[in-house]
A = this chain, B = another copy of it.
Amino acid sequence: MTPKLFNPGPVDVSPETFAAMSHTMIGHRGKDFEDLYASLQPGLKEIFGTTRPVFLSTSSAWGVMEGALRNLARKKVLCLCCGAFSDKWIDVAKKCGYEAEAIQVEWGEAIDPESVRAKLSEGGFDTVTFIHSETSTGVLNDLEGICAVVKSFPDTMLIVDSVSSLSTVDIDMDKHGIDVCLAGVQKALALPPGLCVFSVSEAAMERAKNIPNRGYYFDFIEFAKNDAANNTPTTPALSLLFGLQYILGEIAKEGFAARKARHAQTNAMIRAWGAKHGFPLFAPEGRRSFALTCFATPDTLDLSAFIKTLKMKHHFLINGGYGKLQGTTFRISNMGNETEATMQALIDAMDSVLASM
């Protein structure tokens, strides 16, 4: 039996989502597709907090994370690094041929906006990469603070990855002046992977026009041109778009405010469960994700036996730490469709396993 995933992505996908994804194929250059595309915009704009169009890239988030650099970076990129995913972005920037420097903090810490101000004051940086919710550590960085600092440097573009935060907390792209905001759909949106949704500020679109060698597949200008006709530059991942239409319908039914409250509540349940067992939180107070929880593994816990028994006996899968944090941390997701009832079932199962150890 395949276990239910409480992994922080891909997360569990509902049978209703799979049913929606099983929609008969349609041509992607006709009216039916244009209607599908247009139907996604209001819901996506609401969770991004933007009046700008939201583009649909048939790729994982890394495609747009690289693509955003190819559209916006002129020469030198500053990467804000605090975990596996944000750290990797500097390698990607270098692989594209840019000069790149990092502000590197210990995994588990958040990026200090003042350190960004100090670094940008050195001059020469034209683009900044930033991960709002660093999924590998459970840190929810200070989006508002970082945005305010970067925006105080003219002609400096800010690219924000919101993969495990979008739809669980406010992003407010327009208000904060984010230039590119992007998210893979397999985390907080609870779809299978294969689609990245992203939005681009007017200033960033202007900048892209004058960047040479942007290529085609991730070219923002191509996305905008096709968006004007409710379409995508290349053949899109149709099944995921039908799934996304379903999920956005569910978000509309629940209400975005209620969705955020649900994530706060289910996340609080997991934090309380950890506190009861004396499991320390890995991220600092005030900078903790509401979509997943990362615990530091206490010496008293046989983590691998705990995870294995939970999987074998209860068919629930949690994650035993990402990359160099493997074993020393573990992570539990409350993203997507999880409710107080489903999180309670996980908590009961985890308690039962702990009691038996």
Interface set of A (CB-CB < 8 Å, partner B): 2, 4-5, 7, 9-13, 15, 18-19, 21-28, 32, 58-63, 66-67, 70, 91-92, 95-97, 184, 186, 192-195, 212-217, 219, 233-240, 317, 319
Q: A13-B25, A194-B58, A317-B27 are in contact. Are A96 and B216 (CB under 8 A)?
A: yes
- The chain B residue with its CB closest to the CB of A213 is B97
Q: A192-B237, A217-B63 are in contact. Are A21 and B21 (CB under 8 A)?
A: yes
Interface residues of A, dominant DSSP: loop
Q: What chain B residues lie within 8 Å of A216 (beta carbons)? A: 62, 66, 91-92, 95-96
8 interchain residue pairs of minimum CB distance = A194-B237, A97-B213, A18-B22, A192-B239, A2-B24, A92-B216, A62-B234, A60-B234
The residue among A215, A233, A236 with the most chain B CB atoms within 10 A of its own CB is A215
Task: Tell whether, in the assembled complex, residue B60 and residue A235 are in contact, meaning their CB atoms are under 8 Å apart.
Answer: yes
Task: Tell whether, in the assembled complex, residue A215 and residue B22 are in contact, meaning their CB atoms are under 8 Å apart.
Answer: no
- The chain B residue with its CB closest to the CB of A22 is B18
Task: Tell whether, in the assembled complex, residue B237 and residue A70 are in contact, meaning their CB atoms are under 8 Å apart.
Answer: no
Q: What chain B residues lie within 8 Å of A10 (beta carbons)? A: 25-28, 235, 238
Task: Tell whether, in the assembled complex, residue B92 and residue A215 are in contact, meaning their CB atoms are under 8 Å apart.
Answer: yes
Q: What chain B residues lie within 8 Å of A24 (beta carbons)? A: 2, 4-5, 12-13
